[in-house]
Amino acid sequence: MPYLNFSHHEARTATAIFERLFPADDLPGAAEIGVVDYVDRALSGAYRDLREIYRVGLAALERCAVDACGRVFADLDPPQQNGLIAMLERGDLPNFRTPRQQDFFAILRAHLQEGLFADPLYGGNREKLGWRVLGHPGVWLENSAEENLSAEPATKEGIIQSMADLGFNLDSGAPAPSIPGYDPQRSVEPPIGPADVVLVGLGGVGGVIAPVLCEAGLKVVALEAGPYRTQADFRPDELGHSFSCRAEMGPKFMAEIPRWRRNADEDTGEATFSLGRMMNSVGGSVIHYGAWLRRFHPCHFQPLTRVLERWGKDALPADCTLVDWPITYDDLEPYFDHLERLVGVAGRDDGNPFLPRRTPFPMPPLRPFRMGEIFSEAARGLGLHPFPVPVGLNSVPYGGRPATSYTNWNNGFGSLDGAKWHPGMTEVPRALATGNLDLRTGCRVVRILTDPDGYTDGVEYIDPNGARHTQRARTVILCSYTFENVRLLLLSGDGRHSGGLGNNRGQVGKHFMTKMFAHVDGDFPHLVFNRHTGPAAQSIIFDDFIEDGFDSMQHGFIGGATFSSENQFLPIQISRETLPLDVPSWGQGYKDHIRRWQNIGVVRIQPDSLPYVTNFLDLDPRHRDRSGLGLPVIRITCDMRPNEARLADWMEGRAEEVLRAMGATKTWRGPRFTGVGSSHDLGGCRMGEDPASSVVDPDLQVHDTPGLYVFSGAAFPSCPGINPTLTLWAVALRATERLIARMG
């Protein structure tokens, strides 16, 4: 067949390479599954910028084959081919200088996995053969309680479904519904005049506070870089939609990926991510989050006091800049209660013994699942206190939305049935209904404006047609993600703020913190977990190593972590899980291992992260975004410090104990520095009373720029090992009420 990008010779070489990476045995290999067809098609689309890398890399490998063995690669015996691939993986092939050998191998392996296990609509996974090799049933949008707990493989009676079987394609499934009060055509119209408040971003935070502002009678303009996505835009597409793969629903973020270096003496590379990239849309990244909605504990708001009173100042690591919050748990508790009712949080009232509740959850917890039950029994046997994680996913019908169907296609995806809440479902329509919200999508703010006295005066933004506009307002709230909020402050300097707004004391970008998520896997030859029968929200956790009574210094570090057992196992995810040291990353051993995914259990670790002088954000002096505006991207300077390494080592040891108590015959640790971006990236605009050591006050107003606010995780003074979303919403709602009171 003719290829779109590969020459016949290149296709023959690539086919031979992929077949060695995933060889045929009694089951199909990469050639029969159609990996080359997938890659050839992708090189005309998402990976068009890699076409030249393939051309040069394949040609270099061919020269190495001829030099070493006297024949082209496709004509070599399998052992000879394996030897050359092994040298490529190590970077040992002679006279192969570009592309970088290890990078080229990583591209080949990633594209192999996608061609094997992405939905057949992408051109690979021919006749669903990749899923058949795995024994994965593919795309099912409902799982039963019996399947959740089954001790035998839940196979759907051998029926394997793809998106096409369910009526999905690679475009939106249906026309977007009309949203009263919203018209995307309005985004290119000139501003109608000064607003009371401008929201920069109408995502997870802006979407929550917008109706509160509007119902107070304030005229609000919301400038959102993404579109207004609804259920018509969502599909169960692991490759295209999941934030762990192509993340096509975050085009703005993907065009401005931060640069990263471990220290100030290193060159930068593209930032890596341990969890997802950001969603650009009304409703924000909570559209595709795992729906965990947890409260920080009271002790997490006074972390410095806790350290000083228990262990003394000398216990703090060198260069650590830990501080207490200027607000308390008691300040936020009413907002926690309100938000849990607003969203509809499913949880067990008596679940967490370390955080007693005064009010019940609106819904019971999600139902049990097999690995969670085994994890719970093992944890209790070790004296620990497991409980179902509270989640913003309906366990019963709530708020006019259905109960979850326990689909596997949930974390990393928009809600396919409306059971997983986000602000675009209820709160943004509520704000629009007031007539006080002027929502403009596809509009990117590029600068915050100030008057001659240094007071906030509005924003400058680019509309979807590329026209530049000025929206005047005396109050501007930055509601974007940590990286973008810091970048906008630094890009918006004026005569009174030469180093950027909020930065007169040099604090913008400082005290950056990110989660170094880790995990430990276990092999259970005699157990089947059926982790594909439910969402990641269907999880069991425990807080024994993060609660107030945990004596971390007894073990040689400051901090703690939560442990979890989670459902949701998708095909590409299975192919990319951490491998034991005795399993190769490709070839027959790799194929044999991933086919045993039903027998692999995991304990995930979400750790605390301390702030340090050496971990910070600034503008990269060389690299610009690919949006066409050419603005500097954020540069992350961050490394894992010895305290966090000791914490990870101890926690991984405890995870091994839990896995062995569950019945694992072998355990192995995953990487503990899993990406400098974690979707729990906090700090950079620290909240505090003292302008000399913080950027915003307890009400989130920028100290040196009246009228400018940062409603973001960037304001967090510390980074506990608990998902920050609910606490961020509570902090933002409290600040919104206080802002309204000041504005009268």
Confidence of residue 628 (pLDDT cuts 50, 70, 90): confident
Average pLDDT of the residues in 263-291: 90
Confidence of residue 232 (pLDDT cuts 50, 70, 90): confident
Q: What is the pLDDT of residue 198?
A: 98
b/e map of 506-528 (b: 16 or more CB within 10 Å)? ebbbbbbbbbbbbbbbbbbeebe
Give me the sheet containing 539-542, strands edge to edge.
387-388, 539-542, 561-566, 600-607, 518-523, 666-669
Q: Which of 177-186, 328-337, 558-567 has the lowest mean pLDDT?
A: 177-186
Please state the separation of Cα 470 from the chain's center in Å: 32
Q: In sequence order, what are the residues at sequence separation of 6 or more whose Cβ sits closer than 8 angstroms to the Cβ of residue 498?
A: none
Q: What is the pLDDT of residue 579?
A: 97
Q: At what angle do helices 101-117 and 35-42 cross, to 10 degrees?
A: 110
Tokens of 120: 């057949």
Predicted confidence (pLDDT) per residue in 49-92, tens digit: 999 999 999 999 999 999 999 999 999 999 999 999 999 999 99
Kindly report whether the peptide bond that precedes residue 429 is cis, defined as omega within 30 degrees of 0: no
Average pLDDT of the residues in 188-197: 96
The answer to whether residue 627 scores a pLDDT higher than 90 is no
State how far the Cα of 127 lies from the Cα of 298, in Å rounded to an integer.
54
The answer to whether residue 663 scores a pLDDT higher than 70 is yes
For 305, other C-beta atoms within 10 Å of its C-beta total 13
State how far the Cα of 618 lies from the Cα of 507, in Å rounded to an integer.
11
Strand ranges inside 424-533, DSSP E: 437-441, 444-450, 456-462, 468-472, 476-478, 518-523
Q: At what angle do helices 642-662 and 370-381 cross, to 10 degrees?
A: 100
Confidence of residue 551 (pLDDT cuts 50, 70, 90): very high
The answer to whether residue 284 scores a pLDDT higher than 90 is yes
Domains of the chain (ranges, CATH numbers): 8-134 (no CATH), 136-169+348-413+517-608+639-675 (no CATH), 183-263+277-291+294-344+421-508+681-744 (3.50.50.60)
Q: In sequence order, what are the residues at sequence separation of 6 or more whose Cβ sits closer than 8 angstroms to the Cβ of residue 552?
A: 545, 558, 559, 560, 647
Residue whose pair of structure tokens reads 């040298």 in the numeric block:
87
Tokens of 733: 């709602």
Confidence of residue 173 (pLDDT cuts 50, 70, 90): low
Average pLDDT of the residues in 674-683: 88
Q: What is the pLDDT of residue 149?
A: 98
220-224/437-441 β-pairing: parallel
Q: What is the pLDDT of residue 503?
A: 97
Strand ranges inside 464-542, DSSP E: 468-472, 476-478, 518-523, 539-542
State how far the Cα of 419 lies from the Cα of 422, in Å rounded to an integer.
10
Amino acid symbol at 291: A
Q: What is the pLDDT of residue 386?
A: 98
Q: Which residue has the higher pLDDT, 171 or 556?
A: 556
Taking Cα atoms as reference points, which of 233, 210, 232, 236 lies closest to residue 223? 210
Average pLDDT of the residues in 183-211: 97
Q: Percent of the chain, pLDDT > 70?
A: 99
Q: What is the pLDDT of residue 105?
A: 98
State how far the Cα of 45 lies from the Cα of 345, in Å rounded to an integer.
40
518-523/666-669 β-pairing: antiparallel
Predicted confidence (pLDDT) per residue in 289-301, tens digit: 999 999 999 999 9
State the maximum Cα–Cα separation within the chain, in Å, rounded to a whole number.
83
The answer to whether residue 372 scores a pLDDT higher than 90 is yes
Q: Which run of H or of E encompasses 636?
A: strand 632-637
Give me the sheet containing 632-637, strands edge to edge.
269-270, 259-261, 632-637, 616-624
Average pLDDT of the residues in 614-628: 94
| Per-residue CA distances from 111 to 28, 119, 247 (Å) | 17, 13, 15
Tokens of 290: 């795992």
b/e map of 231-247 (b: 16 or more CB within 10 Å)? bebbbbbbbbbbbbbbb
Average pLDDT of the residues in 135-141: 98
Torsion of CA 348, 351, 355, 359, to 10 degrees: 30
The answer to whether residue 174 scores a pLDDT higher than 80 is no
Confidence of residue 629 (pLDDT cuts 50, 70, 90): confident
Note the pTM of the prediction, 2 decimals. 0.97
The sign of the torsion formed by the CA atoms of 698, 699, 704, 710 equals positive
Q: What is the pLDDT of residue 176?
A: 65
b/e map of 466-475 (b: 16 or more CB within 10 Å)? eeebebebbb
SS3 251: helix
Predicted confidence (pLDDT) per residue in 386-433, tens digit: 999 999 999 999 999 999 999 999 999 999 999 999 999 999 999 999
Residue pair 340/727 in contact by the 8 Å Cβ criterion: no
Average pLDDT of the residues in 333-360: 97
Q: Return the DSSP state at 9.
A: H
Number of H helices, E strands in the chain: 20, 18
State how far the Cα of 733 lies from the Cα of 212, in Å rounded to an integer.
8
Confidence of residue 436 (pLDDT cuts 50, 70, 90): very high
Average pLDDT of the residues in 662-680: 91
Tokens of 90: 């190590």
State how far the Cα of 73 lies from the Cα of 84, in Å rounded to an integer.
9
Read out DSSP for 97-121?
-SS-HHHHHHHHHHHHHHHHHS-GG
| Per-residue CA distances from 388 to 114, 376, 504 (Å) | 33, 10, 45
Tokens of 21: 């990476």
Q: What is the pLDDT of residue 276?
A: 73
